[in-house]
């Protein structure tokens, strides 16, 4: 999953980004509203964490601009403002969730996972595809009822496929979610990771749709 973090507090932003990466998210961090709005307009993200008190462009205006432009990515507002009027204004502008500072990073992660899950059309936290099960709230996989051990890159690809099970996910879309700005990832990374996943869950369960991408399917026994 790829998250856009728009937070001007350098220390807090670095802490959030570090914790999200430990949970296998990829993160782009903008320190002001202007840069955050640009990234949201041009990048591909599963969700955004947006502070309201931003320099250059206030967070509420960033959100309004995204919604006016038809951007549908889930947005969680993160702010120290505790007035009810600010919350109402945020939700009216198109926010999907609201978290007050100070907060526990574990809660932020759980809320983000829930937003991404619902945005992909899953009401239940447990997503099942044949013998493979993905707990979208805890971020864990099971195969035939047993825990499935995955590297961070494998988890990023498989979670993206699981959230869109039985649908084709473009190779470029997967690459966006594998790539981390802090690490070098070559153009063949997706193919390499898919090959490793096929060895772990069964080759027939990840279909290659030529010219389009990959699809996670229940496969055959």
* Confidence band for 179, pLDDT divided at 50, 70 and 90: confident
Q: Which residue would you say has higher pLDDT here, 79 or 14?
A: 14
The pLDDT of 166-186, averaged and rounded, is: 77
Q: Is 114:137 a contact under the CB 8 Å cutoff?
A: yes
Q: Residue 221: pLDDT above 50?
A: no
The pLDDT of 52-76, averaged and rounded, is: 95
Question: What are the extents of the domains in the chain?
Answer: 2-119, 126-216
> CB neighbours of 69 closer than 8 A, spacing ≥ 6?
41
Q: Residue 104: pLDDT above 60?
A: yes
CA distance 185 to 206: 21
Q: Residue 165: pLDDT above 70?
A: yes
User: Cα–chain-centroid distance for residue 80?
Assistant: 23
Going by C-alpha positions, the residue among 220, 215, 218, 74 that lies closest to residue 158 is 215
Q: Residue 203: pLDDT above 50?
A: yes
pLDDT (0 to 100) of residue 88: 87
Return the SS3 of 18.
helix
Q: Residue 90: pLDDT above 80?
A: yes
CA distance 85 to 123: 29
pLDDT (0 to 100) of residue 181: 54
Number of H helices, E strands in the chain: 8, 12
The pLDDT of 42-62, averaged and rounded, is: 94
* Confidence band for 220, pLDDT divided at 50, 70 and 90: low
Fold of 126-216: Arc Repressor Mutant, subunit A (1.10.10)
SS (H, E, C) 155-208: HHHHHHHHHCCCCEEEHHHHHHHHCCCCCCCCCCHHHHHHHHHHHHHCHHHEEE
For domain 2-119, say whether CATH 3.40.50.2300 is its number: yes
Q: Residue 184: pLDDT above 70?
A: no
């Amino acid at each position: 999953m790829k998250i856009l973090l728009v937070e001007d507090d350098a220390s807090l932003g670095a802490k959030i980004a570090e914790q999200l990466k430990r949970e296998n998210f990829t993160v782009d961090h903008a320190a002001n509203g202007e840069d955050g709005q640009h990234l949201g307009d041009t990048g591909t993200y599963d969700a955004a964490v947006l502070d309201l008190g931003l320099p250059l462009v206030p967070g509420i205006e960033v959100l309004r601009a995204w919604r006016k432009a038809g951007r549908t990515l889930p947005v969680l507002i993160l702010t120290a403002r505790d007035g009810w009027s600010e919350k109402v204004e945020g939700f009216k502008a198109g926010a999907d969730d609201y978290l007050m500072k100070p907060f526990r990073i574990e809660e932020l992660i759980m809320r983000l996972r829930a937003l991404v899950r619902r945005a992909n059309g899953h009401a239940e936290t447990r997503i099942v595809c044949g013998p493979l099960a993905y707990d979208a709230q805890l971020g864990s996989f099971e195969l035939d009822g047993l825990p499935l051990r995955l590297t961070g890159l494998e988890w990023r690809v498989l979670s993206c496929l699981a959230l869109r099970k039985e649908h084709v996910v473009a190779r470029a879309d997967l690459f966006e979610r594998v790539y981390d700005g802090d690490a070098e990832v070559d153009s063949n990374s997706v193919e390499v990771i898919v090959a490793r996943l096929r060895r772990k869950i069964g080759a027939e369960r990840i279909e290659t749709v030529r010219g389009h991408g990959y699809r996670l399917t229940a496969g055959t026994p």
